[in-house]
Amino acid sequence: MPERILDNIHGPADVQGLDPDELPRLAAEIRQELLDILSRQGGHLASNLGIVELTLALLRAFDLDTDRIVWDTGHSGYVYKLLTGRRLLMQSLRQDDGCCGFLNRDESPYDVFGAGHAGTAVSAALGLAAARDRLGPEGRIVAVVGDGALGCGTSLEGLNNVIEITNDLVLVVNDNRMSIAPNVGALSRYLSRVIPDERYNHFRKAVSDGISRIPRFGPGLRRLVRRIEEAAKSVLVPGILFEELGLRYIGPLDGHDVVRLTETFQAVRRMREPVVVHVLTEKGHGYARAAQAPEVYHGTGSFDLASGIAVGNDRTDPGESFSDALGDALYNLARNDPTIVAVTAGMCHGTGLKLCREKLRKQFFDVGIAEEHAVIFAAGMAAGGLRPVVAIYASFMHRAMDYVFHDVCLQRLPVVFCLDRAGIVPDGPTHHGIHDIGFWRAVPNLAVLQPADGAELRRMLRQALDHRGPVLIRYPKADAEDLPRRFPRAELEWGRAEVLREGKDAALWGVGRDARTALDIAAALAGQGVEATVVNPRFVIPLDRELLHRQAEAGMPLVTIENHCLEGGFGALVREELAGTDHLRLLCRGWPREVVPWGTEAGIRRKYRMDPEALTADILAALR
Cα–Cα nearest to 69, from 134, 17, 136, 145: 145
Which of 132, 260, 387, 399 is the catalytic position? 399
Tens of pLDDT, residue by residue over 171-226, are 999 988 643 333 334 333 433 444 444 454 555 556 566 666 666 666 666 666 66
371 catalytic per annotation: yes
399 catalytic per annotation: yes
In this structure, are residues 610 and 588 in contact, taking their beta carbons and an 8 Å threshold?
Answer: no
pLDDT score of 46: 85
What residues contact 116, with CB distance under 8 A and at least 6 apart?
73, 74, 75, 101, 102, 427, 428, 429, 430, 431
Q: What is the 3-state secondary structure (H, E, C) of 395-460?
A: CHHHHHHHHHHHHHHCCCCCCEEEEECCCCCCCCCCCCCCCCHHHHCCCCCCEEECCCCHHHHHHH
Please give the Cα distance from 306 to 545 (Å, whole number): 54
Domain positions in the chain: 6-195+237-289, 322-474, 499-623
Please give the Cα distance from 550 to 546 (Å, whole number): 6
Is the pLDDT score of 384 beyond 70?
A: yes
Average pLDDT value for residue range 38-65: 90
Please give the Cα distance from 461 to 415 (Å, whole number): 11
Architecture of 499-623 per CATH? 3-Layer(aba) Sandwich (3.40)
Tens of pLDDT, residue by residue over 11-27, are 999 999 999 999 999 99
Looking at residue 341, the DSSP 8-state letter turns out to be: E
Is the pLDDT score of 315 beyond 50?
A: no
Is the pLDDT score of 47 beyond 90?
A: no
Mean pLDDT of the chain: 87
pLDDT score of 420: 96
pLDDT score of 291: 81
Please give the Cα distance from 243 to 148 (Å, whole number): 20
The DSSP secondary structure of 230-281, one letter per residue, reads HHHHHHH-TTHHHHHTT-EEEEEEETT-HHHHHHHHHHHHH--S-EEEEEE-
Name the superfamily (CATH) of residues 6-195+237-289: Thiamin diphosphate (ThDP)-binding fold, Pyr/PP domains (3.40.50.970)
Between 23-27, 206-210, 515-519, 613-617, the lowest mean confidence (pLDDT) is in 206-210
Please give the Cα distance from 106 to 114 (Å, whole number): 9
Q: Is 569 left (phi over 0), alpha (psi -120 to 50) or beta?
A: beta
pLDDT score of 125: 93
Domain 322-474 has CATH 3.40.50.970: yes
**Of residues 179 and 114, more confidently modeled:** 114
pLDDT band at 307 (very low <50, low <70, confident <90, very high): confident
**CA 299 from centroid of its chain's CA atoms:** 10
**Cα 361-366-370 angle, rounded to 5 deg:** 165
SS3 109: coil
Is the pLDDT score of 579 beyond 60?
A: yes
Within 10 A of 143 (CB to CB), how many other CB atoms are there? 28
Cα–Cα nearest to 31, from 10, 45, 21: 45
pLDDT band at 314 (very low <50, low <70, confident <90, very high): very low
Which of 68, 94, 140, 283 is the catalytic position? 283
Which of 53, 320, 371, 562 is the catalytic position? 371
What are the distances in angstroms from CA 172 to CA 51, 144, 236, 267, 304?
12, 5, 20, 14, 33
Cis geometry, peptide bond prior to residue 597 (ω within 30 degrees of 0): no
Please give the Cα distance from 159 to 153 (Å, whole number): 10
Q: Same topology for domains 6-195+237-289 and 322-474, yes or no? A: yes
pLDDT score of 138: 87
Please give the Cα distance from 144 to 69 (Å, whole number): 7
Is the pLDDT score of 129 beyond 50?
A: yes
Cα–Cα nearest to 501, from 530, 461, 475: 530
pTM for the structure as a whole:
0.82
pLDDT score of 352: 94
Between 136-145, 149-158, 553-562, the lowest mean confidence (pLDDT) is in 149-158
Across the beta sheet with 586-591, the strand order is 498-501, 532-536, 506-510, 558-565, 586-591
Please give the Cα distance from 71 to 116 (Å, whole number): 10
198 catalytic per annotation: no
pLDDT band at 414 (very low <50, low <70, confident <90, very high): very high
